[in-house]
Amino acid sequence: MAGSAVTNGEALTPEAAHGWIERWDAQQQLYMPDREERFTALIDAVEAAVGRPDPLVLDLGCGPGSLAIRLLRRLPRATVVAVDADPLTLALGRAAWSGQAGLSFADADLRGPGWSSGLALDRQPDAAVSTTTLHWLPEAALNAVYAEVASLLRPGGVVLNGDHMREDDTAPRLVGLGRALIERADQRRRAGGETETWDAWWQAAAADPDLAALNDERLGRQVESEHHGSPAGRLSVHVRALRAAGFAEVGTLWQLGDNRLLCAVMPG
Ligand SMILES: C[S@@+](CC[C@H](N)C(=O)[O-])C[C@H]1O[C@@H](n2cnc3c(N)ncnc32)[C@H](O)[C@@H]1O
């Protein structure tokens, strides 16, 4: 709908939103060749951990809802509250999946204390899940997010975080090898042809008149300000924060190089 006067997302059609989300998934897969496999492992773990067909699940840093929608396809009686601070990807998710039972999107910044107070949860969540998001947070915010999640989850509830989490700098060869495995897998995939990058996707979105105002709002929120170089890119920072938040068991369930699925379980 180029040329429309409406620029804050109302002009987005479901078809246009689906097109953007397809391109989103393709560019994300460029950086995580096994992204779908990690989604599958994460959803398997939710299914095995929660012990009920209708869990309440929080998706932290949901983007346009890629994980949430896959989870609901597998567990159609689940309720997923998908949280993000980016107005553009939230608008895409809302436009694409407005008819999806069990799915709602919430605009909240995980860097702010009390981010969960606006989620209108009517019971304790069974799980909090996240993909490729928590490494964006400053360390203090990551600690606070895990503490807030621990205060919300039901006894025995789980965190499942799929993200790049490298070993400590005291193990530099492991850090290098962890990266090398991802890069080699990326190269094998890229041999198949050109794919849009993260930057190119955002440039294209900013150039769409129906998304431009949302992109301006996103830039104003500085969601990406700590994305690169945060200590939250290290596994030990997550493990320490989860233990400090009161999780009883913390460990990796699935891994390729530094790309892993970290699980933490609340005391039951
Ligand atoms: C790489 S994307 C991943 C999105 C989605 N989970 C996926 O796997 O496709 C990272 C997401 O984290 C969100 N994010 C980063 N920092 C955030 C914060 N402080 N509060 C809420 N969301 C945040 C971004 O807006 C973005 O949508």
Ligand 1 atom index nearest CA of 223 = 16
Beta bridge partners of 59: 82, 129
Does residue 154 register a pLDDT over 50? Answer: yes
What tokens were used for 7? 């620029």
- In the chain, the amino acid numbered 250 is V
Q: Over the stretch 67-112, which tens digit does the pLDDT of each residue have?
A: 999 999 999 999 999 999 999 999 999 999 999 999 999 999 999 9
Does residue 4 register a pLDDT over 80? Answer: no
* Residue 172: burial class (beta carbons within 10 Å; 0-12, 13-18, 19+): exposed
**pLDDT (0 to 100) of residue 6:** 40
Ligand 1 atom index nearest CA of 130 = 6
* Whole-number percent of the chain with pLDDT over 90: 85
φ and ψ at residue 181, rounded to 5 degrees:
-65, -40
The larger pLDDT score, comparing residue 14 to residue 3, is at: 14
Does residue 203 register a pLDDT over 50? Answer: yes
| CA 233 / ligand 1 centre spacing (Å) | 14
**28 in a domain, yes or no?**
yes
Does residue 2 register a pLDDT over 50? Answer: no
**7 in a domain, yes or no?**
no
The CA distance from 13 to 222, in Å, is: 27
In terms of Cα–Cα distance, which of 110, 131, 135, 133 is closest to 228?
135
**pLDDT (0 to 100) of residue 44:** 98
| CA 31 / ligand 1 centre spacing (Å) | 15
For the chain, the domain total comes to 1
| CATH number of 133's domain | 3.40.50.150
Q: For a pocket test of ligand 1, which of 22, 37, 86 has the largest count of ligand atoms closer than 8 A to its C-beta?
A: 86
Evaluated on CA atoms 231, 232, 235, 240, the torsion sign reads positive
φ and ψ at residue 105, rounded to 5 degrees:
-110, 140
Characterise 229 by phi-psi region: left (phi > 0), alpha (psi -120 to 50), beta (else).
left
The CA distance from 28 to 21, in Å, is: 10
**Dihedral through CA 103, CA 100, CA 87, CA 204, nearest 10?**
140
The CA distance from 134 to 164, in Å, is: 9
Beta bridge partners of 140: none
**pLDDT (0 to 100) of residue 227:** 73
Q: Over the stretch 45-58, which tens digit does the pLDDT of each residue have?
A: 999 999 999 999 99
Does residue 1 register a pLDDT over 70? Answer: no
Answer yes or no: is the C-beta of 66 below 6 A from any ligand 1 atom: yes
**8 in a domain, yes or no?**
no
| CA 83 / ligand 1 centre spacing (Å) | 8
Q: DSSP class of residue 134? A: G
Answer yes or no: is the C-beta of 87 below 6 A from any ligand 1 atom: no
**pLDDT (0 to 100) of residue 85:** 97
The residue range of the domain holding 173 is 14-265
Question: pLDDT-derived band of residue 138, with 50, 70 and 90 as boundaries?
Answer: very high
**258 in a domain, yes or no?**
yes
| CA 60 / ligand 1 centre spacing (Å) | 7
Q: Over the stretch 218-266, which tens digit does the pLDDT of each residue have?
A: 999 998 877 778 899 999 999 999 999 999 999 999 999 999 999 999 9
* Residue 232: burial class (beta carbons within 10 Å; 0-12, 13-18, 19+): buried
| CA 84 / ligand 1 centre spacing (Å) | 6
**162 in a domain, yes or no?**
yes
Question: pLDDT-derived band of residue 32, with 50, 70 and 90 as boundaries?
Answer: confident
Does residue 121 register a pLDDT over 90? Answer: yes
**71 in a domain, yes or no?**
yes
In terms of Cα–Cα distance, which of 34, 59, 28 is closest to 46?
59
**172 in a domain, yes or no?**
yes
- Mean pLDDT over each residue of the chain, to the nearest integer: 93
| CA 27 / ligand 1 centre spacing (Å) | 14
DSSP-derived 3-state class of residue 225: coil
Residue 140's CB is within 10 A of a number of other CB atoms, namely 11
Question: pLDDT-derived band of residue 192, with 50, 70 and 90 as boundaries?
Answer: low
Does residue 13 register a pLDDT over 80? Answer: yes
**5 in a domain, yes or no?**
no
